[in-house]
Amino acid sequence: GDKVTTGTHEYVNGVKTTETADFRAYGSAEESFADYVRLLKNNSRYQPALQAGTDIKGFARGLQQAGYATDPGYAAKIAAIANGPTIDRAVAAIGNAAADLSNRYASTAEPAGLGTIRR
């Protein structure tokens, strides 16, 4: 598939290094998320992370322990983002957009995937 080559920070034996690596490129955020879900669901090493349920810290720790990221602070960084103000604003914006679309189409069946956003 499509790819992009860019600089990235990786940790090798606990030491931060800069490398050039290939990353998958997608035509949309939806394609990217779908591929991410497939990656996690189809690789047994990520099953412990998926068993964390709604526990974002457990999920992030599971990904880190499975080797998803080389940064030793990966799990803590993901948990901080998930529990921080940026995600609150994003969830609110998505909820507002969904409500707006739902109101526009109130006379027809609700478009798929536009239910209430909860965190």
Tens digit of each residue's pLDDT (9 = 90 or more) over 6-33: 999 999 999 999 999 999 999 998 899 8
- Write the DSSP symbol of residue 109: P
Choose the catalytic residue: 10, 19, 55, 100: 10
Do 64 and 11 share a domain, yes or no? yes
Q: For residue 69, give its domain range.
A: 3-83
- Give residue-wise pLDDT tens across range 71-98: 999 999 998 888 888 777 777 777 766 6
Active site residue 10: yes
Active site residue 35: yes
Nearest to 87 by CA among 48, 59, 118, 111: 118
Residue recorded with tokens 């860019």: 6
pTM exceeding 0.75: no
Do 79 and 22 share a domain, yes or no? yes
Residue recorded with tokens 């602070």: 73
Choose the catalytic residue: 19, 22, 35, 55: 35
The CATH number of the domain where 25 resides is what? 1.10.530.10
